[in-house]
């Protein structure tokens, strides 16, 4: 019986194989635009007029509505940034900072927007050391008013609207104000975040904002209102960005800082500036890559790793093969070693970006890589010519019908930042002073090495891994992607680009594919579940020191949009709940 059944199954498979099935459905009315690829396992969301991908579906819908109502991707990107401060408080923010990459269609220009936090003028190198010169990693370092750098998010989001948008700042703020004032329905994701983050109860203003009057947790389905945050956003809508940096909101921030030994002053806020920078650029297999320059380390080292890997026939090896993964790991080791030494705020130190992203330097590194034997971290030193954001950074990507693209990665550093809410404002503050190197011979609290280029200095911007990445072809934007994940942002972005450009995956399969990560020190290749045990065994035979990732959420969460053949594609990485891509028709 079993044998007969097997014969029948073989016959059925043979018959199906003989049928010429298309690998895609062709768009009605167009013979050249594939919609769905039946060779794929995962499928992106589609749209005809634009696309949004973020870590919160409600906020993605707000951005999609902006596009549907005539706003461009830059308007939608700003509205999304403000909305996430309401809907995704663990990472979305107006009390933190980050980096944006814009492609402005009417200028045919890609611009890097640096709205990273800066150290207050009173910040000093020794501020987290005791009298004996020892680092004190206590509550003051992580979870106090003193742990906050000067926020840049409001300035950054306002800057892109005023310079490149089509709507007013008040118009893009309106959805976030409504959500904060009228409330949002508590999702499973938000309820779990708040239940887990009990340290928020240590700050009176945080306790009042995030928990019920009796101190109990919000339940799924209940309405969560943020009236103080609604006031702050309304002040910014009415008075402009000056409300936050010079006016009514600034006064409340400084009063709370003064009452709790914080460092931020009115002068610090008034002197904060957004910086437009030239993106760091590279190429891969005929595609152009643009990404964030220093003080982001991400763009420089994504390009450096791609340059190294371009010297090897990865496609012939196959995605997730032991040889391909081994080469990626070795490229990561060299790049993260260089990151530890050279990256810093370019307004304060010289960063050898041109050398780090050069093809010749990458070719020299590639010549040192053996296919058969992994190099230990001790055998790799920064070339002769680190710093962390928590996993709760967030990224979103937006594209519109004109070809404008926005990729924004911004952060509070830890989940819910310092845990400090400024009294009367609803603003949850960052703890990004922890992104500075405390001393060049001391790894930070997360094991990453830095250098004197990233020591605490007044008004300096700390090095970051955050880096949205834009892929173009023939001067036309193709793909925008980015991720949270601290040091893993760089490796996640690099693997997304390889999966699409080298291995031919659609953006959904490319996002879902299991990832690896090596950051030079500690000497461990972190492996996500889903990679074959046989492949892992082969990597161990090559000398790779394997560490199995316990949580997929730690391996990043890519938010990607793509334009191809007249259609827009989007996909939100499933590694985190509540994310969603929304297409615009």
Q: What is the pLDDT of residues 318-373, one digit of tens each?
A: 999 999 999 999 999 999 999 988 888 899 889 999 999 999 999 999 999 999 99
**In the block, residue with structure tokens 């953006």:** 507
- Which positions are catalytic? 393
351 to 97, 280, 315: CA distances (angstroms): 21, 12, 33
> In the beta sheet, which residues pair with residue 25?
36
| pLDDT value at residue 20 | 33
Tokens of 531: 């990679």
Question: Measured between alpha carbons, how far is 495 from 49 in angstroms, rounded to an integer?
Answer: 28
Contact criterion met (CB below 8 Å) for 504 and 516: no
Element (H, E) at 309: helix 298-309
Q: What is the per-residue pLDDT for 437?
A: 85
**pLDDT score at 272:** 98
Question: Residue 360: how many CB atoms within 10 A of its CB?
Answer: 9
pLDDT < 70 regions, the chain: 1-36, 383-392, 442-450
**Ramachandran category for residue 577: left, alpha or beta (phi over 0 → left; psi -120 to 50 → alpha):** beta
- Listed in sequence order, the residues at least 6 apart from 49 whose beta carbon sits closer than 8 Å to its beta carbon are 67, 68, 400, 401, 568, 584, 585
- The whole-angstrom separation of Cα 332 and Cα 335 is 5
Position 38 scores a pLDDT of 74
Q: Are strands 476-481 and 469-473 parallel, antiparallel or unpaired?
A: antiparallel
Q: From the CA atom positions of the chain, what is the Rg in Å?
A: 24
Q: Return the CATH number of the domain spanning residue range 280-389+465-584.
A: 3.60.20.40
CATH 3.60.20.40 domain extents, the chain: 280-389+465-584
For 219, phi and psi rounded to 5 degrees?
A: -100, 155
Q: What are phi and psi of 287, to 5 degrees?
A: -100, 150
Residues 6+ apart with CB under 8 A from 279: 101, 110, 111, 112, 290, 291, 292, 293, 299, 470
pLDDT in tens, 462-501: 989 899 999 999 999 999 999 998 889 999 999 999 999 9
Sign of the four-CA dihedral 436, 414, 115, 422: negative
Evaluate the CA torsion angle 376, 377, 378, 384 in order and state its sign: positive
Residue given tokens 């959805």 in the structure block: 175
Q: Are 310 and 363 in contact (CB under 8 A)?
A: no
pLDDT at 389: 47
pTM for the structure as a whole:
0.92
Measured between alpha carbons, how far is 202 from 285 in angstroms, rounded to an integer? Answer: 52
Q: For position 10, what pLDDT does the model report?
A: 36
């Amino acid at each position: 019986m079993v044998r007969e059944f097997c014969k029948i199954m073989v016959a059925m498979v043979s018959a199906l194989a003989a049928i010429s099935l298309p690998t895609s459905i062709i768009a009605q009315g167009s013979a050249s635009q594939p919609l769905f690829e039946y060779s794929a396992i995962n499928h992106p969301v589609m749209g005809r007029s634009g696309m949004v991908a973020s870590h919160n579906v409600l906020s993605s819908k707000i951005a999609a509505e902006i596009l549907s109502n005539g706003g461009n991707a830059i308007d939608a990107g700003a509205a999304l940034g403000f909305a996430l401060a309401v809907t995704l408080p663990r990472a979305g923010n107006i009390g933190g900072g980050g980096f944006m990459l814009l492609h402005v269609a009417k200028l045919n220009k890609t611009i890097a927007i640096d709205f990273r936090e800066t150290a207050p003028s009173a910040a000093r190198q020794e501020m987290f050391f005791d009298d004996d010169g020892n680092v004190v990693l206590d509550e003051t370092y992580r979870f106090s008013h003193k742990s906050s750098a000067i926020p840049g998010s409001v300035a950054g989001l306002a800057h892109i609207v005023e310079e490149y948008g089509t709507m007013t700042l008040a118009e893009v703020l309106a959805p976030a104000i409504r959500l904060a004032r009228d409330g949002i329905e508590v999702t499973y994701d938000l309820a779990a975040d708040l239940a887990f983050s009990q340290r928020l109860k240590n700050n009176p203003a945080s306790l009042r904002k995030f928990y019920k009057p009796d101190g109990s947790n919000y339940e799924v389905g209940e309405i969560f209102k943020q009236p103080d945050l609604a006031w702050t956003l309304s002040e910014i809508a009415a008075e402009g960005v000056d409300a936050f940096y010079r006016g009514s909101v600034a006064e409340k921030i400084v009063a709370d800082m003064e009452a709790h030994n914080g460092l931020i002053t009115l002068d610090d806020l008034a002197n904060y500036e957004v910086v437009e920078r030239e993106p760091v650029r590279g190429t891969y297999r005929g595609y152009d890559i643009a990404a964030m320059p220093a003080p982001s380390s991400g763009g420089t080292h994504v390009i450096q790793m791609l340059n190294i890997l371009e010297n090897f026939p990865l496609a012939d090896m196959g995605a997730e093969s032991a040889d391909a993964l081994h080469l990626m790991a070795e490229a990561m080791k060299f790049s993260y070693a260089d990151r530890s030494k050279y990256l810093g705020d370019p307004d304060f130190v010289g960063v050898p970006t041109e050398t780090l992203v050069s093809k010749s330097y990458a070719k020299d590194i590639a010549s040192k890589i053996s296919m058969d034997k992994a190099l230990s971290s001790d055998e790799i030193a920064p070339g002769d010519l680190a710093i962390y954001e928590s996993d709760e950074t967030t990224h979103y990507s937006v594209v519109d019908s004109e070809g404008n693209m926005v990729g924004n990665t911004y952060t509070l550093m830890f989940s819910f930042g310092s845990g400090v809410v400024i009294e009367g404002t609803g603003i949850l503050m960052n703890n990004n002073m922890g992104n500075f190197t405390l001393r060049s011979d001391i790894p930070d609290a997360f094991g990453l090495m830095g250098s004197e280029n990233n020591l605490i200095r007044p008004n300096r911007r700390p090095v970051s891994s955050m880096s949205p990445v834009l892929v173009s072809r023939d001067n036309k934007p193709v793909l925008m992607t980015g991720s949270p994940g601290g040091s893993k942002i760089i490796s996640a972005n690099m693997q997304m680009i390889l999966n699409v450009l080298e291995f031919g995956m659609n953006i959904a399969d490319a996002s879902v594919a299991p990832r690896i990560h090596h950051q030079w020190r500690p000497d461990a290749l972190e492996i996500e579940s889903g990679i074959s045990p046989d492949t892992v065994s082969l990597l161990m035979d090559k000398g790779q020191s394997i560490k199995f990732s316990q949580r997929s959420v730690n391996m990043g969460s890519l938010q990607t949009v793509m334009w191809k053949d007249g259609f827009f594609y989007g996909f939100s990485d499933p590694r985190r709940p509540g994310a969603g891509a929304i297409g615009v028709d």
